[in-house]
Structure 1
Amino acid sequence: MIRDTSAPAAPAHPLPVLLPFRLTAPQRRFPPLRLTLLHALGIVGLGLLIAGGAHAQAGVNQLSAFGVIIKWFPLLMSGFLFNILISVLSMALGTVAGVGLGLASISLSTPLRRIAWGLTQFFRNAPWLVLLFFAMFMIPFEFRIFGVTIPFPDWVKAVIGFALPVMANMSEIVRGAVGSLPSGQWEAAESLAFSRRQTMWMIILPQCLKRMLPPWMNLYTLVTMATVQASIVGVTEMLTLIAQVHAAEGGRPDLLAPLYGFAMLCFFIYCYPIELWTRRLERRFHLHQ
């Protein structure tokens, strides 16, 4: 009797339900963003319309609106970059806290799940401006730790104020992405003796990345546009600097539309490509199927 001592053949394909999400080689390169001729004409036309209207109201010996913008351009752009900094820090802080809150909302512990649900609903349905005021006036302007005074500037409070709604919305994004995966993923992992933590971090969350990325990018554009509310509580960002420039130029009424139009144009140029990229990712990942 001949015994077959050869090793058993490996399965042709690994279990597909346990494969984490990975971009293949052709997908690692995102397509470049293209602004069509219609987009360019619209941006130029808007700028000419604002500049033309302001020029018609300006006096003979006064600097034109376009000249005022050029004169104060470095200062205005520093304010705009500060808006971007606030949005990035708020998004980073809110994302980290939101992922933890989202995982708590799907926990097996009923008290933890209910607490996470309550926090998510509270901060998600509260007005952003109210949360900003809450952070500005409830957080002290300085802390004393072991006799050392640590200042807490207003812009840091603004970051915390914007991070609170980001945290709540990110929690919903995580919960929705995890819930959208088929239950077979959990069953297959359980059949292979994966713990719940291993299943979550090695199988579920990697597959949720492509589902969470587009809404996360949409949320970032909302945070970026909302950072102008920080001017209401005294943070020196772009709108605050525009008010200072307008006062420095004598409070001319013909400068209001060009200056605020310039701010609108800056935010549009920054946020619109993100919105286009979000649509491309949705089509690439087939999220609507």
Structure 2
Amino acid sequence: MANDVFGALVEWAPALLTGLGQNVLISLSAMALGSVAGLLIGALNFSPLRPLARAWVQLFRNAPWLVLIYFTTYVFPFEVKLFGHYLSFPDWLKVTLGLALPASANVAEILRGAVGSIPATQWEAAHSLALTRAQVFSQVILPQCFKRMLPPWMNLYAIITMGTSLASLVGVHDVIDVAQIASNTVNRIPFTVLMYFSLLALFFAWCFPISRLTQRLERRYAFY
């Protein structure tokens, strides 16, 4: 009986890994979009548009991720017309946008915290060289922020990766959806238990090394 259960898991293993690849794709895409948007929004914190940036951060940091995913899934159309051609707008891309929103808000906060940790003397020294505020920020302050931002940024990526497990709720064929299909197909309680333990192991195998590397980077840059 146990051999049958493990044999069924082996048969479904390629599909599980393919599904995990979909989750990883969503997490990488969401983090890339969120990082670009977050850096821009975070920079607005040091401009006259600060109230707009703060509103964005407060809204999307405190909004439930599932609500944002449902929002982007059902607000955006199933296809878009571009240069006279209709292009599909897949659900996984909508989920990516839904996760990119809180990612951007958190990256903006990470940037704000990193800039705040820079000693005021750095600003004063740069201003003494007759640099504009924009030049000081882009050429002096921002390069020093990246090392400070890297550990929390990586931790945020791990959290976003775990958040991709919500994608199956809006019809994305990810690793959770594969597990549900496999459980319903085999229809055996031991197999279902083993399947979901395997899901835990897959997410752990992907996120744990990121967590360990984050801790190493935090210790390495602790003197900053």
TM-score of the two chains, using structure 2 as the length reference? 0.96
What RMSD in Å do the two structures reach over aligned CA positions?
A: 1.3
- Matched with 1:270 is 206
For 1:65 and 1:231, the matched residues in 2 are separated by 24
What amino acid does structure 2 have at the position aligned with 1:192? Answer: L
For 2:113 and 2:165, the matched residues in 1 are separated by 29
Please point out which of 94, 98, 109 is paired with 1:161: 98
Is 1:218 equivalent to 2:168 in the alignment? no
What amino acid does structure 2 have at the position aligned with 1:230? Answer: A
The percentage of counterpart residues that share the same residue type is: 47
For 1:155 and 1:97, the matched residues in 2 are separated by 19
Is 1:94 equivalent to 2:34 in the alignment? yes
CA deviation map 1:177-233 (0-9, x unaligned)? 101111111110110011122211111011111110000000000000110100011
Is 1:106 equivalent to 2:43 in the alignment? no
Computing the radius of gyration from Cα coordinates, the structure with the larger value is 1
For 2:209 and 2:4, the matched residues in 1 are separated by 30
- Matched with 1:177 is 114
What amino acid does structure 2 have at the position aligned with 1:215? Answer: P
Query: What displacement does 1:267 show?
Result: 0.6
TM-score of the two chains, using structure 1 as the length reference? 0.75
For 1:247 and 1:278, the matched residues in 2 are separated by 38
> Secondary structure in 1 aligned to 2:179?
helix
Preserved contact between residue 72 and residue 98 of structure 2 (Cα < 8 Å):
yes
Query: What displacement does 1:147 show?
Result: 2.5
Is 1:205 equivalent to 2:142 in the alignment? yes
Runs of 4+ in 1 over 3 A off after TM superposition: none
> Secondary structure in 2 aligned to 1:240?
helix
Query: What displacement does 1:145 show?
Result: 2.9
What amino acid does structure 2 have at the position aligned with 1:270? Answer: W
Query: What displacement does 1:144 show?
Result: 1.6
Is 1:78 equivalent to 2:18 in the alignment? yes
- Matched with 1:46 is none
What amino acid does structure 1 have at the position aligned with 2:93? Answer: V
The size of the alignment, in residue pairs, is 224
Please point out which of 147, 150, 175 is paired with 1:238: 175
Consecutive unaligned residues of structure 1, counting only runs of 5 or more, are 1-53, 56-62
For 1:69 and 1:106, the matched residues in 2 are separated by 53
For 1:146 and 1:243, the matched residues in 2 are separated by 39
Is 1:152 equivalent to 2:92 in the alignment? no
For 2:83 and 2:95, the matched residues in 1 are separated by 26
What amino acid does structure 1 have at the position aligned with 2:81? Answer: R
For 2:81 and 2:207, the matched residues in 1 are separated by 39
Preserved contact between residue 9 and residue 191 of structure 2 (Cα < 8 Å):
no
Consecutive unaligned residues of structure 2, counting only runs of 5 or more, are none
> Secondary structure in 2 aligned to 1:126?
coil
